[in-house]
Amino acid sequence: MGPFSIVSRIFLDIGVFSWDILLTLSNLVRRKLRIGHVTPHGHPGYGGYWPEYKPPKETDSRCSCPALNAMANHGIIPRSGRNISFAEVERHIRTTYNFSSTFCSFVPRFAARMLKKDYSEDLFDLEELDLHNGIEHDGSLLRLDSAFKQKQSTKHTPFIEELLAAATGRDRKDNSIILTTKDVSRMLSKRRAVSRASNKEFSLSSFHKIFGSTNAATLVTVFGGRVDDLHSFLHDERLPKGWELHIRQPHGMTLMQINKTVLEIERGVRERDWAEAAREAAQFDKALV
């Protein structure tokens, strides 16, 4: 990368972050979107009508991200998961999950750079996002580490079950079970400790920890932690019938807003609480789920 493109990248990032602050402030003063009208009119999911769900075929491409896989399973992006443009993903995560334009532009641009692709010209297949230590990393909530020769598009069902069973919150209105940020921190602590003890190739930089807690934060923000909905999203990578996302800010969830939950989750991670049990389990080759 030449000096010109580094400088233009810095300006682009500064621009995105400044814009993000303005959107965050505007979100604070503007009225929230009305329930039933969060997905914009004319977009897939308006009024809770998600396009037909079809599980992926053998030949389809899927990745380690349940949110992108779900969009492909509903045909919001190509069902094949192949030849997708970065701009297409940017547009659809905005309307499907109501993230701010800043988040929606930042993450796909980051992914394009990670894959050494041109954001505007090149296409990608979902599985390419599983580049190890790009965004994908060890010690995830839902998948075994790639060192265990696990295709990252393959979910690890016991991890999902354990995560959902760890939910301790209750919705005040309908008493449904809610996964809280504390629950997520506890499970992330365990996943990281177990991976560190059992995976000889384990690595997890601070940068990847933040990516991990950002992904985990979406469970409590976009899905409001509702275990019923998360069950369908995580096990089947399916948006529940009639489901509406929980982010009702008019400009969508900004980078600044999600960072609040990300920091809460990351601060609550206590890997050492699990370290001994994880080491013992690894020694006797026992699965600590």
60 lies in the site for ligand HEM, by CB under 6 A: no
Mark residues 98-127: x for contact with ligand HEM by CB under 6 A, - for none. -x-------xx--x----------------
Q: How far is the CB of 283 from ligand HEM (least distance, A)?
A: 25
Q: How far is the CB of 284 from ligand HEM (least distance, A)?
A: 26
Q: Toward ligand HEM, which CB reaches closer, 29 or 267?
A: 267
- Asked if residue 256 lies in contact with residue 24, where contact means CB atoms within 8 angstroms, the answer is yes
- Asked if residue 143 lies in contact with residue 155, where contact means CB atoms within 8 angstroms, the answer is yes
CB-based burial, 146-157: b 16+ in 10 Å, e otherwise: beeeeebbebbe
Return the CA Rg of the chain: 19
The first and second tokens of residue 163, run together, are 């995560």
DSSP assigned state of 160: H
39 lies in the site for ligand HEM, by CB under 6 A: no
217 lies in the site for ligand HEM, by CB under 6 A: no
C-alpha atoms less than 13 angstroms from C-alpha of 189 in its C-beta half-sphere: 20
DSSP assigned state of 226: B
Query: Contacting ligand HEM (CB under 6 A), which of 93, 197, 204, 282?
Result: 93
Query: Contacting ligand HEM (CB under 6 A), which of 23, 72, 126, 129?
Result: 129
Q: Toward ligand HEM, which CB reaches closer, 61 or 175?
A: 61
CA nearest to 43, candidates 87, 83, 81, 98: 98
Q: Toward ligand HEM, which CB reaches closer, 94 or 281?
A: 94
Q: How far is the CB of 117 from ligand HEM (least distance, A)?
A: 12
> What's the chain's length in residues?
289
Enumerate binding residues for ligand HEM (CB under 6 A).
Answer: 64-68, 89, 93, 97, 99, 107-108, 111, 129, 135-137, 140-143, 212, 215-216, 218-219, 222
